Structures are given as C-alpha cells and as structure tokens.
A and B are shown apart, each in its own frame.
Chain A
C-alpha cells in the first residue's frame, strides 16, 4: 500500500473527549441484586422487575455466540458497571435546567438539544450513559398525539403500551445479548405514533457513553399504529478509553396495517486506536415487525465506529404485502471487526424485501456481511432482492459475504448479487494525473460506491454520513 493511502486511513477520532461531570455509578458486577438496584433506582413496577429477572435467569443458561466472524477475549461481565447517571437527575421542566456541562458536551458533538438551534425540525432524545437527559419538542408532538419520551418515563406514564409491546418483537430470551439487555437495560427512547398520524418531524435519539467501564444497555421501542408513519434517526459517540466498553442495545419496531417506519443510524462509537486498543463492543439486536398488511419497515445504517460490530437489523414480514428494506454502509479501519447484515423473514403473502449492503475495509480490519433471507411456506409470491458489495482499501484487510437463503415456497423470487472491488494505485494515479489528490479521489470513489445507501438517508444525515466517511478515511496525505 502506498504511503498516501496509508496516511489516508489514519485519521484520529473526533469525539474522544470525556465530560467531567459527577456521576452516580453503580458498583461493578452483575447479579439479581444489581437488577433490583437498577429497577429500584427507576422506581419500576413489579411486572418490569419480573421481566428483568426472567431475562437474567435465561441469560445465565445461555452461551455467548461464537459464530460471528470476529475475535475478542472473553468478556468479564462482573467487571462492568451496569448503571451510570449524571448527577443530579431531576425531572427537567425545560432545556434551561439541563446541566450546562452536558449541554456543552452535546453542542461539541453537534447534537441540537436547544429547540431554537439551527437544526431545529428534529426532535431529539438524548441518552448520556445510562439515562435519558432530555427530550426536545415533546409538547409539540403531543399536540398530534405522538408520544416521544425516554422509556423510563414511558413505563410510568404509559405503562399499558409499554407492557403490550416491550419484548413482543425481541423476546427476553431471544439471544445472549438481548437477554442481557432485557435484564439490565437502563434507558432508551419510546415512541408511539397513533392511528393515521404522519409524524411532522424526524425523531432522533443520540447515545453518548461517557463513563469508563460502563456498559450501555439501552432499549428503544417504536410503535406505529394503523396508517401512521415516522422517520427515526439514531447517532452514537463515546470517549477514547484504552479498555473496551460494551454496548448491547435492543431496538424493537412494530408497524400495524399500512404503517411506515424508517429507522436510520449513523454509528460512530469509538473504534479503538490504530493498534486495536480500546473501543466499543457493539452487540446489538434490532428487529422490526411488519405486523399489519401493507406495512413497511426500512433500516438504513452507516456503521463507521466500534471495535467490534455484531448487528443484524431485521424485518419480520408478517402482514400480507408488507415491505422490508435494509440499506447499509459498514466501514472498518485499523483493527476493527464487523459482522453485520440483516434478516428478512417472509411470512405473509406477496411480501417484498430489499437488501443493499456496502462494506468498506481498510487497514487490518475485517468486514463481513451476514444475511438471512427466509421465505416461509405461507409466503406465496414473496420477493427478495439482495446486493452485497465489498470494497478493499489496501492489501491487509478482509471482506467476507455470508448469505443464507432458505426458500420454502415455490412461487417466491429471490435474487442475490455480490461484487468485490479495490481502490487501486492505478485509480489514484489516474485522478492525480487530472490534478486531483488522493484524499479527494478516495472520497469520490467511496461516495460513488455508497450512493445507493446514502440516497436513503434523510438529508441532514446524508450530509453527516458523507462527511464522516471522509473523516474516517481522509488524513494527512504526505
């Protein structure tokens, strides 16, 4: 690999600072007592504590998955603190009461916590370590009947809704990390769009891990009733620590008849340094249920951070004519490892799914696409189109594609396309000979490669994603 390319992929992380803020941190370790402590701190109803304990007991019997194409030392779950909250945590009457140190943190990260801010028009729920610190535009959304708040708040204010849907898409014992999350989740966002309402603005959650040795286990639940629609954005960052931090989230989406949920993620957790030291373990379960007819769930993700990513945002297409979509860009650099993809489970008639996955590997990283398309016997007329493209930058990285296709209905149509390409010295020389330097050339090639996915992102996110990929790859070209 040329020095130009080498320098290009060695850009430092921009969000690695730590906010000096007093936090209420639970002692390290995991037991039923830890769970009772969390539940007690949040003053939760009995049924939720039972759900947590049930999940914990199942988790104890489960084994950590070893099938992903990633390598890491065994996690010591007793060395993690399962609760951290900035002090003091009062109920806030307005944004003016938010700790100014926190406001500064999110300002630095470019997250609009001020409703008068430039990026107005996006409602944000801000999660700092284990708790939600602020939700903007709540009142305005409430006017049209939309509930948008932290999940802790929802447990108290809308217990029936939470109880009805929590764990209905991802059961507490679904998998190792989902079980762990169900046992110890601390906060997250809750969003409910009532029948017939088109959400008037994009909703967004911003996750920030601040405290060292803290795990973040957030829980997001989005429900769109009949004919409702919403576009939801999620962003994440963390400071630089030499130790690995665990992030094991669960996101559940439910779409009833004719509902439409679009979920977009730009994930930029700290990825570790250039030698692979530190970084976030991002072990996340995201799943959407197209419960009603003609419903639609669309996942768009731009994954650039984390030391290890293990994540398969999926769609269960139960309603007839429902549609599932997955658009993904996963970029890995240095010693990052990603095993990410999707599952499209076709149960209803004439269900359709689209998968577009773009993997970019640089440095010594390893990037795998893993995807399942299952057509059940009931899914007459189901269709799937999958496209998985990999791009290699340099010659020390790896890219893999693991497609699983299970078709149990003869009327189904399934298409799969895959390609691998490489940014070569000759391409960069061609650009250079037209006066264009390596940074700009790589940026143009990458953006061209990712354009099918970027087109799916909401405008502000698309701009951010383009810049982020640039930052991740651009640098001091010698």
Chain B
C-alpha cells in the first residue's frame, strides 16, 4: 500500500551486473518505499532473477556499475549475511537442499541470528518449537516438516511454503520473492499468497518477481514494472499486469520502439 509519509527503503540507480563476464543488468533503476508492494515482470532472460540475486549478494554475480542504497547505506559494501541481517530477504526461486540438517535446527539458527541482530532474546529448542508451529499454521504446513532435512525431498510447493515460513520468522524489512508462485497449484498459491499478505505492513516492503499475472490476483501490487534486457522499461499500476496478461510482453517492446522513433 502506498503511504503518504513513508520513507525510502531501497534505491537502485543505474545498476549494472555481470555473470561470467556477460552483462545481465544494464542500468537498472528502482525505488521502493516502506509499505509498498512492487511486482517485477518480464520475459525469460530479461534479468529479473539476476536482479534479485544481486541485491542479496550472490557471489557468482559481479556488480560493474551503479549503486544500491538500503535505508540510507550502501548495500553493495555488505557481505550476503550482513545484508540478510540488515533486513533484506530473498525468497529463492529454487530453494537449496541441505541434507542432514534438520529444518527445525536451520530455522532456529536463522531466527536466533535475527533475534540477536534485533537485540532480543534467542529461543531455546523447546520455546522455538512452540513459536514455529504457530507460524506454520499461517501457511497450513504440517509440523513434520520440522524434522526433515532442509528442503530435501520437499515438493516444489513445499519448498516455497518453507521459504515464506522463513520470511515469517525473520520479519525482513524488504522481501524479494523470486517466482514464489512457480510450482504451486491453485490451493497452495492461495495459501502462500495469503501468508505473504498477512506479513505485509506499513513498515516493510515486498518485491514480487514473477512471470505471470495470476499471483497478482491474490497479492495486489502498488506498482508493476516490466523488465527487458536488464532494465525496467515500463512502470504502471496493477492494471498493467492485466494488460500484459492480455497482450503479452512483445507489445511493450514494440511500444518502446515506436516511442524511440517518435523521439528521433
């Protein structure tokens, strides 16, 4: 939701990034204020997931230009774990499996790290068990997931619920959710979207990276951005997503070319 007096959480200006020497982001600009929900859409290969990973500090990507300011400080200077502790959360498109590590252990370690950062008490395993079970209800998750290894043998939908569970535990200021809707059936989509909606408030912000409009039926964005060739080429309100759904991405591209001709 857009609030009149909200402060800027994230300011991305002219961001360029490469992977294996190939430039993927080519002058990305985005400003996100607290309370807002943004959707970044665009065709395959337009750089959406790269953008999400670069914000989180994935080591495979190199920033070659531009700046990212998060709550007034330079995010790019921070190591990935420091970005996470500062309140940047990435919901993974393909959550990583960690065999042998119980999900409950992993979740508690992540939660206690966040608690320590906030200067609040850490929870022992018993206290945490009660706490996490409550949060799992939000996502209609079976408590069995606590005893299993992190993401190992989880279905696509189960992995995505586990991501949002982590978001619920960590209460990040900025959540970037990379294709959280992919691999979800219609019921799971509703449950996950409902969970995300309950976590949204006027002090945090959510950036949804998605191919499809269907997630946006459940989570209504304040802004919809269209990415192409490594930058945002069009920004509109929630109705832009519907237009994209009806007309496809090619239309944005041809409109751009038309505008380009006019400006010449």
Q: Shortest Cβ distance from A284 into chain B, in angstroms?
A: 28
Can you name the residue of chain B whose Cβ is closest to the Cβ of A424?
A: B96
From the candidates B58, B59, B85, B98, name the one contacting A435 in the complex (CB within 8 A).
Answer: B85
Tell me whether A426 is interfacial, beta carbon within 8 Å.
Answer: yes
- Contact: B106 with A444, CB < 8 Å? yes
Tell me whether B89 is interfacial, beta carbon within 8 Å.
Answer: yes
Task: Given the known inter-chain contacts A436-B110, A448-B101, please indicate yes or no for A430 contacting B95, CB distance below 8 A.
Answer: yes
In B88-117, the 8 Å CB interface with A consists of 89-90, 92, 95-96, 98-102, 105-106, 109-110, 113-114, 117
Q: Shortest Cβ distance from A37 into chain B, in angstroms?
A: 52
Tell me whether A196 is interfacial, beta carbon within 8 Å.
Answer: no
Q: Shortest Cβ distance from A455 into chain B, in angstroms?
A: 13
Q: What is the bound-complex CA distance between A451 and B105, given in angstroms?
A: 13
In A426-446, the 8 Å CB interface with B consists of 426-427, 429-437, 440, 444-445
In B123-161, the 8 Å CB interface with A consists of 149
Chain B residues whose C-beta falls within 8 Å of the C-beta of A461 in the assembled complex: none
Q: Shortest Cβ distance from A82 into chain B, in angstroms?
A: 44
Task: Given the known inter-chain contacts A426-B96, A430-B96, A448-B149, please indicate yes or no for A436 contacting B101, CB distance below 8 A.
Answer: no
**What is the number of residues of chain B that contact chain A, defined by CB distance less than 8 Å?**
31
- Contact: A445 with B58, CB < 8 Å? no
Q: What is the bound-complex CA distance between A444 and B106, given in angstroms?
A: 8
Can you name the residue of chain B whose Cβ is closest to the Cβ of A434?
A: B110
Chain B residues whose C-beta falls within 8 Å of the C-beta of A426 in the assembled complex: 96
Q: What is the bound-complex CA distance between A440 and B106, given in angstroms?
A: 11
Task: Given the known inter-chain contacts A430-B92, A435-B113, please indicate yes or no for A448 contacting B59, CB distance below 8 A.
Answer: no
From the candidates A427, A432, A440, A449, name the one contacting B79 in the complex (CB within 8 A).
Answer: A432
- Contact: A449 with B100, CB < 8 Å? yes
Bin chain A's interface residue count.
20 to 34
Q: What is the bound-complex CA distance between A426 and B58, given in angstroms?
A: 9
- Contact: B98 with A430, CB < 8 Å? yes
- Contact: B80 with A432, CB < 8 Å? yes
Chain A residues whose C-beta falls within 8 Å of the C-beta of B106 in the assembled complex: 434, 444
Q: What is the bound-complex CA distance between A293 and B89, given in angstroms?
A: 60
Tell me whether A425 is interfacial, beta carbon within 8 Å.
Answer: yes
Chain B residues whose C-beta falls within 8 Å of the C-beta of A2 in the assembled complex: 59
- Contact: B98 with A427, CB < 8 Å? yes
Interface string of B174-186 (1 = CB under 8 A from A): 0000000000000
Tell me whether A421 is interfacial, beta carbon within 8 Å.
Answer: yes
Q: What is the bound-complex CA distance between A429 and B60, given in angstroms?
A: 10
- Contact: A432 with B98, CB < 8 Å? no
Q: What is the bound-complex CA distance between A421 and B81, given in angstroms?
A: 24
Q: Shortest Cβ distance from B211 into chain A, in angstroms?
A: 22
Q: What is the bound-complex CA distance between A421 and B59, given in angstroms?
A: 21
Q: What is the bound-complex CA distance between A2 and B85, given in angstroms?
A: 21
- Contact: A435 with B170, CB < 8 Å? yes
Looking at A2, A421, A433, A444, the one whose CB has the most chain B CB atoms below 10 A away is A433
Task: Given the known inter-chain contacts A427-B96, A445-B98, A445-B100, please indicate yes or no for A432 contacting B60, CB distance below 8 A.
Answer: no
Chain A residues whose C-beta falls within 8 Å of the C-beta of B99 in the assembled complex: 421, 448-449
Interface string of A118-139 (1 = CB under 8 A from B): 0000000000000000000000
From the candidates B95, B109, B114, name the one contacting A444 in the complex (CB within 8 A).
Answer: B109
Q: What is the bound-complex CA distance between A29 and B249, given in angstroms?
A: 83
Chain A residues whose C-beta falls within 8 Å of the C-beta of B59 in the assembled complex: 2, 425, 429
Q: Shortest Cβ distance from A222 into chain B, in angstroms?
A: 33
Q: What is the bound-complex CA distance between A421 and B100, given in angstroms?
A: 11
Tell me whether B84 is interfacial, beta carbon within 8 Å.
Answer: yes
- Contact: B114 with A429, CB < 8 Å? no
Can you name the residue of chain B whose Cβ is closest to the Cβ of A421?
A: B99
Chain A residues whose C-beta falls within 8 Å of the C-beta of B114 in the assembled complex: 435
Q: Shortest Cβ distance from B111 into chain A, in angstroms?
A: 9
Q: Shortest Cβ distance from A160 into chain B, in angstroms?
A: 49
Tell me whether B164 is interfacial, beta carbon within 8 Å.
Answer: no
From the candidates A427, A432, A449, name the one contacting B81 in the complex (CB within 8 A).
Answer: A432
Task: Given the known inter-chain contacts A425-B60, A429-B58, please indicate yes or no for A436 contacting B109, CB distance below 8 A.
Answer: yes
Can you name the residue of chain B whose Cβ is closest to the Cβ of A452?
A: B100
Chain B residues whose C-beta falls within 8 Å of the C-beta of A444 in the assembled complex: 101, 105-106, 109
Q: What is the bound-complex CA distance between A421 and B85, given in angstroms?
A: 29
- Contact: A434 with B113, CB < 8 Å? yes
Tell me whether B68 is interfacial, beta carbon within 8 Å.
Answer: no
Tell me whether B166 is interfacial, beta carbon within 8 Å.
Answer: yes
Tell me whether B41 is interfacial, beta carbon within 8 Å.
Answer: no
- Contact: B113 with A436, CB < 8 Å? yes
Q: List 18 A-B contacts (CB under 8 A).
A: A425-B59, A429-B80, A429-B96, A430-B96, A430-B98, A432-B79, A433-B84, A433-B92, A434-B84, A435-B81, A435-B113, A435-B117, A436-B109, A436-B113, A445-B98, A448-B101, A448-B102, A449-B100
Closest CB pairs A-B (n = 3)? A448-B100, A434-B110, A432-B80
- Interface of B with A (CB < 8 Å)? 56-60, 79-81, 83-85, 89-90, 92, 95-96, 98-102, 105-106, 109-110, 113-114, 117, 149, 166, 170
